[in-house]
Structure 1
Amino acid sequence: MAIDPIDDQDLDIEVQIRGLMLDPVTNMPIVVLKDVASDLVLPIWVGVFEANAIALELEKTATPRPMTHDLLRNMARGLNATVHKVVVSDLRDDTFYATIWLMQGEEEVTIDARPSDAIALALRWDCPIYVSQSVLGRTRQAATEAGANANADELRRWLENLNEDDTGQYKM
Structure 2
Amino acid sequence: MKPAHTSAQEEVEVRIRGLMMDPVTSMPMIVLKDIGGDAVLPIWVGIFEANAIALEIEKNTTPRPMTHDLIRNILRGFETHVTRVVISDLREDTFYAVIWLERGGETLAIDARPSDALALAMRADCPIFVARSVLDSAKANSAGRDSGNSDELRRWLENLNDDDLGKYKM
**TM-score for the superposition, normalised by structure 2:** 0.92
Per the TM alignment, residue 163 of structure 1 is displaced from its structure 2 partner at its CA by 2.4
Q: List runs of 5+ in structure 2 lacking aligned partners.
A: none
Deviations 1:20-49 (A, max 9, x none): 100123221110000001111100001111
Which SS does the other structure have where 2:13 is aligned?
strand
Per the TM alignment, residue 144 of structure 1 is displaced from its structure 2 partner at its CA by 2.5
Deviations 1:107-137 (A, max 9, x none): 0000000101000000001100000001011
Match of 2:19 in 1: 20
Per the TM alignment, residue 78 of structure 1 is displaced from its structure 2 partner at its CA by 1.0
Output the CA distance in 2 between the equivalents of 1:73 and 1:6.
Answer: 21
Q: Percent identity?
A: 61
Output the CA distance in 2 between the equivalents of 1:69 and 1:96.
Answer: 19
Q: List runs of 5+ in structure 1 lacking aligned partners.
A: none
Match of 1:151 in 2: 149
Are the aligned partners of 2:143 and 2:151 in contact in 1 as well (CA < 8 Å)?
Answer: no
**TM-score for the superposition, normalised by structure 1:** 0.91
Partner letter of residue 127 of structure 2?
P
Per the TM alignment, residue 77 of structure 1 is displaced from its structure 2 partner at its CA by 0.7
Per the TM alignment, residue 170 of structure 1 is displaced from its structure 2 partner at its CA by 3.1
Output the CA distance in 1 between the equivalents of 2:163 and 2:25.
Answer: 20
Per the TM alignment, residue 7 of structure 1 is displaced from its structure 2 partner at its CA by 5.1
Match of 1:44 in 2: 43
How many residue pairs match? The answer is 166
Which SS does the other structure have where 2:157 is aligned?
helix
- State yes or no: 1:133 paired with 2:120: no
Partner letter of residue 118 of structure 2?
I
Output the CA distance in 1 between the equivalents of 2:47 and 2:156.
Answer: 22
Match of 1:11 in 2: 10
